[in-house]
Structure 1
Amino acid sequence: MSSGRLARREAENAPCLLESNLLHPDPDDGDWLRPIPASAALAQRLNPIEREIQDRRRLAVQLTDLFEPFMAITARTEPTGHSITVLENDGHIDAAIERATAECRYEILTAQPGGGRSEDSLTVALQRGQTVLDRGITMRTLYQHTVRHSQGTLAYAARMASGNVHIRTLEELIDRLMIFDRTVALIPAREDRQVALELRHPGLVEYLAKVFEHQWSKATPLLDEVPYAPSTDGITGVQRSIAKLLIEGHVDEAIARRLGMNVRTCRAHIAKIAAALGSGSRAQLGYLIAQSGILDQGRPR
């Protein structure tokens, strides 16, 4: 209906027309309603909202001017370098990583425990890493040896390969770690990695950088062969590492997590160790590992 008029009692079945200002009372007879153009009705609804937005903007400007002197005082007396910030959920964590990456000028150190990374995480890492490389920033990343069997991670490493990108692997790693210019560090605060800590305290960040450097010195460049001791009595270097954790009392899930492999692969290795040593039970396997001397065979002389 765009012309004529409508009895008010008939419009009661469509109250939204009145609420939206699409009908207004007939000036000649209050029992009737007349339509108005939708553009005019929309303008009537938007005008108060736009006025409120303008009022809010003016208030924001006034508050900014009011707080500016105090912000300057805070900046001088409470440097942001001494802070620990709790980041909850992926959105806040990703925002903190993006912010630290944008602030970074010369070096990023990262430790990425676990096996091969998912396609989505590698895509994000590639986009973020390429931006960093274009700015001439050096990157050093630690993975676990198990990524050497991940085609996706190897393809990512190949794409990132350049003079200022270095990747090494270790059998075991500390938890995830990111350090930017040795001034900002991010670490997980919960096992599910839905909570992280952003550290800007110089002492904490420097300590974490030293931990990274210690592990980096023991790691193997990605393109080099891992220096496992040769297979002895059918037991490989990886299996010796699993055997060591077994006799320390770790369960399969914990061993898999520490070595960056899935539980199925870990259990397959345990089955091979048991077969090689002739073990018929889990309890007997621990005893046979201790008696076999296979752990001594993997130690440097």
Structure 2
Amino acid sequence: MAGHGTEEHPHGADRLCEAGDRVYSRAVRRGRVPRTDAEPVPCLMDLALLHPDPDDMDWLVPTSPQEVMTRLLRGVYDEVRESQRRVGSAVSAFERYAGLGRQLQALTSPGGGTAIRVLDGLSRIQAAMDEATAACTTEVLTVQPGGIRREEELTEGLHRALALRGRGVRMRDLYTHVARHGQGLLTYLELMGDAVEARTLDEVIDRLILFDRTVAFIPANAERTMALELRHPGLVEYLVTVFERLWRLALPLTAPLPDTGIEGISHRERTIAALLAEGHQDAVIAERLGISVRTCRAHIARLSDTLGAVSRTQLGVRIAQVGLDGPPHSGPPGPPAPVRVAGRGSPSVR
């Protein structure tokens, strides 16, 4: 879309240029258009009249004319005394488009809103999150993958968290165990007080934010420059179930990590051993646990030394011999059992 700017399309959604009118009309009639068709008319993307197809990012689907009209009128009504002519123009324009796209009803949720909406760009993601925050009245559930949270990440959403706390909204956050070591997270939780409850797991799913169990946000690409806004009751209920099951397995932030029962092997090394036994590479293990590849390899080296392994193959055998090849136990630790480390003398208990 290089070479095209908003200066070439100095208009609003109520009076499209001829090129934009042709492409949008075609999209409404057919249900979608190739992304290349919209490149000469960036106004359609700028005005959110077209957005990426969740099933194929090379195609664009039209925002329903009714939804466009509602969004437009929401801003127009703020200036109704000065903009009555534009209100009539917007209604007239989108009544014509509304007759073209009856097939778009299949893309809407039972409640009448868009079931899946692609948010392309950080500004649109932020705007949608702010809108959901403003409408939230009861509960927010979040899953925050990765390791230690950077200060800028925590500051970015702080205004929303404080607004929610001010309205009495309860928040529950899931992090990886690594996040426990970040002072920024501890400061954030101290600031939020009893409005936020945090728990941790060895690894969590990708980022998830749920508002009032009615709308969910998940990433749509690896760079997190695109997101999906989900409002379909079935999808949202499924994500709530996933969160609740992870929550039951997680440990409160104030609770200590369980003991592995093997002297010299930490809880994190126990988790790495289980992932190695599943055949994962170092980079994959590091990403899942929210640590750097260098840190991951340092843990593997210490694990090899503790188990007396001189190669990756031998390390795999040692892991199986001492029973580290199963998923680590995240609940309250039971009494440790004596474990003999292969290649060592007497059994050791921790």
Q: After TM superposition, give the deviation of residue 125 of structure 1 in Å.
A: 2.2
**Match of residue 89 from structure 1:** 121
Counterpart among 310, 323, 327 of residue 293 in structure 1:
323
Distance 1:68 1:90, change over 3 A: closer
CA contact (8 A) 1:107 1:138 kept: yes
- TM-score scaled to structure 2, two decimals? 0.63
Deviations 1:120-173 (A, max 9, x none): 1111222221111001111111111111111111111111122x3211111111
Q: Where do 1:152-301 residues align within 5 Å?
A: 152-162=184-194, 164-226=195-257, 228-295=258-325
- Residues of 2 paired with 1:107 and 1:82: CA distance? 22
Provide structure 1 residue ranges, at least 5 long, that are not aligned to the other structure: 1-55
CA contact (8 A) 1:86 1:197 kept: yes
- Residues of 2 paired with 1:252 and 1:137: CA distance? 40
Q: After TM superposition, give the deviation of residue 61 of structure 1 in Å.
A: 2.8
Q: After TM superposition, give the deviation of residue 263 of structure 1 in Å.
A: 1.8
- Residues of 1 paired with 2:202 and 2:229: CA distance? 26
Q: After TM superposition, give the deviation of residue 64 of structure 1 in Å.
A: 3.1
Q: After TM superposition, give the deviation of residue 297 of structure 1 in Å.
A: 11
CA contact (8 A) 2:144 2:206 kept: yes
Provide structure 2 residue ranges, at least 5 long, that are not aligned to the other structure: 1-81, 335-350
- TM-score scaled to structure 1, two decimals? 0.73
Distance 1:259 1:296, change over 3 A: closer
- Residues of 2 paired with 1:225 and 1:249: CA distance? 28
CA contact (8 A) 2:118 2:227 kept: yes
Distance 1:104 1:124, change over 3 A: same
- Residues of 2 paired with 1:72 and 1:135: CA distance? 38
Structure whose alpha-carbon radius of gyration is higher: 1
**Match of residue 109 from structure 1:** 141
CA contact (8 A) 2:198 2:252 kept: yes
Q: After TM superposition, give the deviation of residue 80 of structure 1 in Å.
A: 3.8
**Match of residue 16 from structure 2:** none
Q: After TM superposition, give the deviation of residue 281 of structure 1 in Å.
A: 2.1
Q: After TM superposition, give the deviation of residue 295 of structure 1 in Å.
A: 4.1
Identity in percent: 48
AA aligned opposite 1:219: A
- Residues of 1 paired with 2:276 and 2:187: CA distance? 33
- Residues of 1 paired with 2:238 and 2:191: CA distance? 31
Q: After TM superposition, give the deviation of residue 62 of structure 1 in Å.
A: 2.5
Q: Secondary structure at the match of 2:263?
A: coil
**Match of residue 20 from structure 2:** none
Q: Secondary structure at the match of 1:161?
A: helix
Q: After TM superposition, give the deviation of residue 253 of structure 1 in Å.
A: 1.3
CA contact (8 A) 1:113 1:144 kept: yes
- Residues of 1 paired with 2:327 and 2:117: CA distance? 46
CA contact (8 A) 2:274 2:326 kept: no
- Residues of 2 paired with 1:91 and 1:297: CA distance? 40
AA aligned opposite 2:281: V
AA aligned opposite 1:273: L
- Residues of 2 paired with 1:171 and 1:142: CA distance? 11
**Match of residue 87 from structure 2:** 61
**Root-mean-square deviation (Å):** 2.8
Q: After TM superposition, give the deviation of residue 94 of structure 1 in Å.
A: 1.3
